[in-house]
Structure formats: C-alpha cells, structure tokens
Amino acid sequence: MAYIDFVSDLHKATTRDYLGRVMEADKADCAIVAKKYGYDYWDGDRKYGYGGYRYDGRWRVVAERLAEHYDLKAGNRVLDVGCGMAHLLYELTQVVPGIEVIGLDISDYALEHAKEEIRECLIKGDAKSLPFDDKSFDLVISLTTLHNLRVYDLKDAVQEIERVSKGHSYIMVESYRNDREEMNMLYWQLTCASYYSVEEWEWLYREWGYTGDYSFIFFE
C-alpha cells in the first residue's frame, strides 16, 4: 500500500468559496438534491454540485500518469468504480490504444450523458457489490467516490476493489490533515458520508486488507 498523488493539482486549480456555500443557500436542502446524482448535481446550479460537468480534456494528464505508473498496455483491463461521465476512462483509451475499460456508477444521468465514445463500456452498479469475478482487472481505480458511503458499505467497497483487482488499484477520497481542512471540507461537501482524517483512512485500509495505492484531496 503506497501513497501516490495523481490528482491534487487538478483539485487545487479550482477556487472554492467555503463560507459562501454555507451562507448563500440551505445547505441541507442542497445536499438532499445532490444525493440524487441527477441533473442538478452534474449540470445544475453550483450549489447542488459541479455546476456543469463538461468535457474539457483536464483528465488527460491523470490518464497519462496512471498509464505510466502502472505500465498500462493494449489488452489490459481497467475498471473505474464511480466513473461518473467517464472522462478519465475516455482519456485512458486515447493514451493507451487497445486498452479495455469498464466504468461503473449509480447515476443514470451521468451514464446517459457520459462521453459518447465510451458509453458502451459503462454499466450501472453499486461499489459495494461489484459484478465481476475475482482478479478480473489489471487496474481498478476509484476517484472521489468512496467517501460517499457509510462505513459499513465503505468496507464492502474497499474489499470488493481488492477482490476484483489482479494486484494494482488506486483509491482517492476527500480527507483532512488539520482543523481548518476539516471545517472547509464540512462547509463544501454535499454528498460525503465518511469524514476521516488521513490517519483514520490509512488505518481502515489496513484493517480491511487493502493492498493497493491511495491518495487524498484536501480543502485548504
């Protein structure tokens, strides 16, 4: 198990008004809407989520980093648990021609509005019960998804990722290292159900037998 950061520079490129999100709307009502993972969450007002999730090529660099680090080649199989609109999976197919990708997500809206070139590779499903055989994938990834699960489902999801991987996996979730980051995370998040510090996440991974790689994004 190793800490490897592929994503934080993309996360830091976005400016966030933490106090504004809390003060300008009823955040509890916004969270209820966001957790439906429909139009409002993806393409509605920013108070409900992304405020418009459109392809802009930003995930290309992450795909390149993943391909280089895990030595991905044509014929390899990659699973993205919580793929959303599958922009990262699309970029992987461009970076590694001939790679086989599968994306899984619970959001009908995301799957229906995913990159057209990749839609046939996507399925609706739940992270805590992956519909695949043991050791089915050369790489399993999950970015900004698992923190949306309660701890009992989170355990199942982490162990499912371990089960279907041949040995390489990468999980990235929201976390915090200090009081300010914890407060900012609480102010900003809409769907998070597992609020853990870095040390707590690492402890859970060890307890649940996770052997893959991991990293975090922080709200600084």
Is 36 part of a structural domain of the chain? Answer: no
Is 47 part of a structural domain of the chain? Answer: no
Give the C-alpha distances (Å, rounded to integers) separating 104 from 13, 19, 81, 118: 26, 33, 5, 12
pLDDT at 23: 82
Q: How confident is the model at residue 19 (pLDDT cuts 50, 70, 90)?
A: confident
| Domain count within the chain | 1
Is 112 part of a structural domain of the chain? Answer: yes
Is 2 part of a structural domain of the chain? Answer: no
Is 50 part of a structural domain of the chain? Answer: no
- 30/34 Cα distance (integer angstroms): 6
- 176/100 Cα distance (integer angstroms): 34
The CATH number covering residue 103 comes to 3.40.50.150
Is 186 part of a structural domain of the chain? Answer: yes
Is 80 exceeded by the pLDDT of residue 1?
yes
- 41/55 Cα distance (integer angstroms): 16
* Least confident interval from 9-18, 148-157, 206-215: 9-18
φ/ψ of 91, rounded to 5, equals -65, -35
Q: Is residue 213 classed as helix, strand or coil in its secondary structure?
A: strand
Torsion of CA 86, 81, 107, 203, to 10 degrees: -130
Give the C-alpha distances (Å, rounded to integers) separating 114 from 1, 22, 123, 188: 31, 30, 11, 25
Residues 89-95: what's their mean pLDDT?
Answer: 98
pLDDT at 21: 85
Boundaries of domain holding 164: 8-21+59-217
**Beta strand 169-174 with 139-143: parallel, antiparallel or unpaired?**
parallel
pTM above 0.75, yes or no: yes
- Tracing tokens 């991991």 back to the chain, one arrives at 214
